[in-house]
Amino acid sequence: MTSRRLVLTRSAALFGAASTALLLPEIARAQSGKVRVGLMLPYTGTFAQLGVAIENGFRLAIAEQGGKLGGRDIEYFKVDDESEPSKGIENANKLVQRDKVDVLVGTVHSGVQMGIHKVARDSGVLSLIPNAGVHAATRSQCAPNVFRTSFTNSQPTRALGQAMIAKGHKKAVWITWKYAAGDEAFEGFKESYTAAGGTIIKELGLPFPNVEFQALLTEIASLKPDAVACFFAGGGAAKFMKDYAAAGLQGKIPLYGSGFLTEGVLDAAGPAADGVMTTLHYSDSLNTPRNQAFRLAYAKMFRLQPDVYAVQGYDTGLLLAQGANAVKGDLANKAALYKALESATIDSPRGKWSMSKSHNPVQDIYLRVVENKENKVLGVAAKALADSGAGCKMA
């Protein structure tokens, strides 16, 4: 009762007693005062750096808006999700039930995302996905209040197969962490590689976030494929490339992957990353004024080089700002808010992108190669690539 009275008293001061009587406390909170932004990201574990980059990017976009959303100040609430799927629902509820956030921004790991997704669907709270590519979120379980600013897990690898065949690699081994992100990345790789005439001679895997690669690398050496393709990310990706080089495979069996393999880890991996070729919706070296301005602003604000995760966090801030501005800060006006988010075009450092019907970016996928600790762009591997959105029916 105390908090209810407090809200009513506060809103009485803001709105005047006459109108207050008509307002439920929930609505009073939602339309006045600060926008409550919940960040649910990994701040520990193999994806810790990814979480930090996403938050940094988001904060940069907000700073460029004068620190406001639709004219309102912002209050942040943060939870470290540890990339731990078993705590996903509980952690999302801390933000939604306890902190009563207006918008939930998260997360990186596909398994944890499914916990957020359940809470988002049950509560109706606006959910912005700044990384996790799990298919269900924008396919069979798509929802009007859920928008993704990153990719689906099969989107980058859908552009990989053709690029490998073009290099003459007809027999490949696939290796990944065995969970939704790796399995769905494989789906995109398999489809594009076999359609282009390639044969996958072996699928290898290990549980997330295990980094004991030795036995699997020995197996790859004895299989002698033309190339290896993989999905790894974060700290585990750096270790994989180092172990690959240490096993004597670098330069012998070309290494490919979805571009997460080489994002945010080029210092950690060092020369072991040289020559690794990947496909992704961003490249450090995109030679556009938009990308250069972003990279400069990010480096100034954080004394760090941005990566794809920073771009995705930034774009999440841009998207939310577009929506909030369209409804003049009234995030409770959901019909108008969702319409604005659905029709947004994001002028991103990755290039302009739009929302698909199932709320996932339609975007170019670039072919890149690592040279001197930079992801150099070689060309566009797939133009305006949309996920199928299979099974999505917006309620």
Interface residues with ligand PHB (CB under 6 A) are: 108-110, 131-134, 153, 181, 233, 260
Amino acid 66 reads G
Q: How far is the CB of 36 from ligand PHB (least distance, A)?
A: 25
Q: How far is the CB of 129 from ligand PHB (least distance, A)?
A: 9
Answer whether 17's CB lies under 8 Å from 83's CB: no
Q: How far is the CB of 231 from ligand PHB (least distance, A)?
A: 7
Answer whether 165's CB lies under 8 Å from 351's CB: no
Q: How far is the CB of 113 from ligand PHB (least distance, A)?
A: 7
Q: Is 178 exposed, middle or buried (0-12, 13-18, 19+ CB in 10 A)?
A: middle
Answer whether 276's CB lies under 8 Å from 241's CB: yes
Q: How far is the CB of 8 from ligand PHB (least distance, A)?
A: 42
Structure tokens at 364: 């170019």
- Residue 364: how many CB atoms within 10 A of its CB? 19
Q: How far is the CB of 274 from ligand PHB (least distance, A)?
A: 21
Q: Is 184 helix (H, G, I), strand (E, B) or coil?
A: helix
Nearer to ligand PHB by Cβ, of 109 and 121: the residue is: 109
Pick the closest to residue 378 from 369, 370, 386, 387 (CA basis). 369
Nearer to ligand PHB by Cβ, of 37 and 233: the residue is: 233
Answer whether 51's CB lies under 8 Å from 313's CB: no
Distance in angstroms (rounded) separating the CA atoms of residues 92 and 55? 17
Nearer to ligand PHB by Cβ, of 65 and 192: the residue is: 192
Q: How far is the CB of 328 from ligand PHB (least distance, A)?
A: 34
Nearer to ligand PHB by Cβ, of 30 and 265: the residue is: 265
Nearer to ligand PHB by Cβ, of 145 and 153: the residue is: 153
**Where in 232-316 does DSSP place strands (E)?**
255-258, 277-280
Rg (CA), the chain: 22
Own/partner pairs, 372-375, CB within 8 angstroms, 24+ separation: 372/274, 373/266, 373/267, 373/270, 373/273, 374/266, 374/284, 374/285, 375/259, 375/262, 375/263, 375/266, 375/278, 375/280, 375/283, 375/284, 375/285
| Percent of the chain as helix, strand, coil, to the nearest 5 | 45, 20, 35
Q: How far is the CB of 188 from ligand PHB (least distance, A)?
A: 12
Nearer to ligand PHB by Cβ, of 36 and 109: the residue is: 109
Nearer to ligand PHB by Cβ, of 29 and 109: the residue is: 109
Q: How far is the CB of 311 from ligand PHB (least distance, A)?
A: 12
Answer whether 12's CB lies under 8 Å from 20's CB: yes
Nearer to ligand PHB by Cβ, of 20 and 312: the residue is: 312
Q: Is 17 exposed, middle or buried (0-12, 13-18, 19+ CB in 10 A)?
A: exposed
Nearer to ligand PHB by Cβ, of 133 and 235: the residue is: 133
Q: How far is the CB of 114 from ligand PHB (least distance, A)?
A: 10
Amino acid 184 reads E
Amino acid 237 reads A
Q: How far is the CB of 182 from ligand PHB (least distance, A)?
A: 8
Nearer to ligand PHB by Cβ, of 186 and 260: the residue is: 260
- 319 CA to centre of own chain: 14
Nearer to ligand PHB by Cβ, of 120 and 181: the residue is: 181
